[in-house]
Amino acid sequence: MTPVIIAFVVFFGLLLLEVPVAYSLLIGTSVAVVFGGMVPIDIVVQRSFASTESFLLLAVPFFILAGDLLASGKLGTQLVTLAARLVGRFHGGLGQASVVTSMAFAGVSGSAVADASGIGSVLIPWQKREGYPARFAAAVNAASSTIGVIIPPSIPMIVYAAVSNVSVASLFVAGILPGVLVGATQMALCWWVAKRNDYPRRSQPFDFRALVKDFLKALPAILMPVLVIGALVGGVATVTEVSVVAAVYALLLRMFLYRDLSVGQLVRTLATTGIATGVVMWLIMTSTALGWLLTVSQLPQHLSQWFLAAGVGGFGVILFMNVVLLVAGMFLDMPAAILLLAPVFIPMAQAVHLDLVQLGIIMTLNLAIGLFTPPVGTTLYISTALAGEKIERVARTLMPFYAVSLVTLLLVSYVPAFTITP
């Protein structure tokens, strides 16, 4: 156990010194291996590179590319317009539109960061012009954009599948109901907050013809998750093959239907995809090395035996995992946290007969909450920057969103029916 203790002491020490997470993981693991004397240091390098040699992980860059292509063009604007048309006339309408747009974008990008920046750049200024407080607009965007990693396709779920050997199709289907539930509760919260505080309400009358017209314009994006889930559940293609089809589909839409993709934009999109993929793969490499060290030290087995001996039971084990994940999500990127903690939690879940698909959704929801929680909430920082607000004010406005997110998390954690699998 000594090498594990060394690894975590060095890791958290470097985090406090603001060393990037990936480098902290790699240095912590290397120091532990060298001073712990468990194995030669070259084993760390071998394990790190071996983790990226997965056909499944090829889906990551293609889903990133597909999402970037669709979200950055006219189609992204069409989704925002459709959402505003659907719910804009209700109390908190533009806040609800932000949630609806995030749910639609979730089926396109699979990335909360992409949704936060793409949707927020349009809807946060729009809400401010309509008279909504900047802190409310930022809070809604920060919380709702995390739906992008819950509703499929989801890049964190692909990473979890690579670690757990769970079917990606099962994870994607299991994420639909929790994602919709998160979206529905956030919409209800927007309505309640806006009504209570008397936020401006749009007086635009309902126009069914305009709604149908906007729906048809946004239909190509709406079909994306149908294409992905249908192909996976139907056994037509693997997740990697589906991701390639999704990227080609997005490219053809931009080139021939919307005709708004220039050569320069394509080059920038490819460059962005390459950088984002490199970041994810680097995190996977460094996280896997430490995860392997935990496995070799048999920490997961020791924890499982301790919980069983203590008579904590399934309820206590799930509560423990939730607390650890919520704290980890406040400091770690999602891929790093999944790769670091999944090898620890999987044996514990199996010991209490918790389905590994349900565990994957629990991990995703917990870490999604961390994305809009200080001190390292990525979507929170993006949204506050776009709104020109202070993080403290936005974080206080987010308190009801934390509450409804935790309610959804408890339902998913303790009611297996909320993670429906094929």
Closest CA to 151 of 365, 422, 401: 365
Work out the average pLDDT over 318-342.
Answer: 87
pLDDT of residue 233: 77
Write out pLDDT tens, residues 217-274: 878 877 877 888 888 877 788 888 888 988 898 888 888 888 888 888 889 889 988 8
In the chain, % of residues over pLDDT 90: 20
Q: Which amino acid is at 55?
A: F
Closest CA to 104 of 63, 75, 138: 75
Taking CA atoms, 179 is separated from 107, 149, 191, 399, 413, in Å, by: 11, 9, 19, 19, 14
Cα separation, 204 vs 191, in Å, equals 17
R_g of the chain, CA atoms, integer Å = 22
For the chain, give the number of residues. 422
pLDDT of residue 69: 82
DSSP states along 324-350: HHHHHHTTS-HHHHHHHHHHHHHHHHH
Which secondary structure element, helix H or strand E, spans residue 356, and what is its range? helix 356-370
User: Which of 77-81, 128-132, 179-183, 416-420 is modeled with the greatest confidence?
Assistant: 179-183
Sheet strands (E) in 268-412: none
Mean predicted lDDT score pLDDT of the chain? 84
| Beta carbons of 150 and 364 less than 8 angstroms apart | yes
Q: Is 90 exceeded by the pLDDT of residue 357?
A: yes
Cα separation, 341 vs 223, in Å, equals 34
Instruction: Assign 304 to helix, strand or coil.
Output: helix
Sketch the domain layout of the chain as residue ranges: 51-261+297-418
Only one residue has tokens 């990525």, namely: 378
pLDDT of residue 404: 93
More confident residue, 50 or 278: 278
Q: Is 80 exceeded by the pLDDT of residue 353?
A: yes
**Longest alpha-carbon distance in the chain:** 72
More confident residue, 211 or 4: 211
Q: Is 90 exceeded by the pLDDT of residue 74?
A: no
Six-digit token string for 262: 């220039």
Six-digit token string for 235: 């056994």
Cα separation, 422 vs 414, in Å, equals 19
Taking CA atoms, 24 is separated from 10, 12, 127, 159, 335, in Å, by: 8, 8, 39, 20, 15
Taking CA atoms, 340 is separated from 15, 245, 267, 379, 412, in Å, by: 15, 31, 34, 22, 22
Q: Is the dihedral of CA 353, 418, 158, 30 positive or negative?
A: negative
pLDDT of residue 50: 74
Work out the average pLDDT over 290-304.
Answer: 72
Q: Is 70 exceeded by the pLDDT of residue 382?
A: yes
32-48 burial, b at 16+ Cβ within 10 Å, e below that, comes to bbeebeeeeeeebeebb
